[in-house]
């Protein structure tokens, strides 16, 4: 039996990489979890590790009432890139970036991390 979803992927109608090119998960591989002989497998995203080597970073000061997305919009020009600032500061919870107004955080420069 032919899988219609796989046919759409093969035809290019559905992208093989489900994440946006600017997503933190863009290069993270997908995997299947086999539940049992009678149950279909469940697709999941493998673990993503924070990069060890980062591009040179400049500092930004957290403003009162800042959120990670507002900080990213101000310093990187795109609120969806908050994860790059989180990676540059080695935090897994992005809200840690902005929980202290006046804090200086590292902001990555250059290409995508």
Tokens 């697709």: give the residue: 43
- What is the reported pLDDT for 51? 67
Percent of the chain exceeding pLDDT 70 equals 81
Percent of the chain exceeding pLDDT 90 equals 35
**What pTM, to 2 d.p., does this model score?**
0.65
Return the CATH fold of 57-108: Membrane-bound Lytic Murein Transglycosylase D; Chain A (3.10.350)
> Distance (Å, rounded) from C-alpha 74 to C-alpha 76?
6
CA geometry: angle at 100 spanning 50 and 51, to 5°?
A: 10
Between these two residues, 91 and 17, which has the higher pLDDT value?
A: 91
């Amino acid at each position: 039996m032919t899988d219609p979803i796989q046919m759409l992927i093969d035809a290019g109608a559905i992208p093989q990489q489900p994440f946006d090119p600017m997503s933190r998960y863009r290069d993270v591989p997908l995997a299947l979890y086999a539940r049992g002989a009678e149950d279909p497998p469940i697709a999941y995203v493998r673990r993503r590790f924070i990069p060890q080597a980062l591009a040179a970073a400049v500092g930004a000061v957290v403003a009162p009432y800042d959120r990670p997305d507002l900080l990213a919009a101000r310093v990187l020009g795109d609120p969806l890139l908050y994860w790059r600032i989180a990676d540059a500061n080695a935090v897994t919870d992005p809200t840690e970036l902005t929980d202290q107004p006046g804090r200086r955080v590292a902001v990555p420069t250059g290409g995508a991390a």
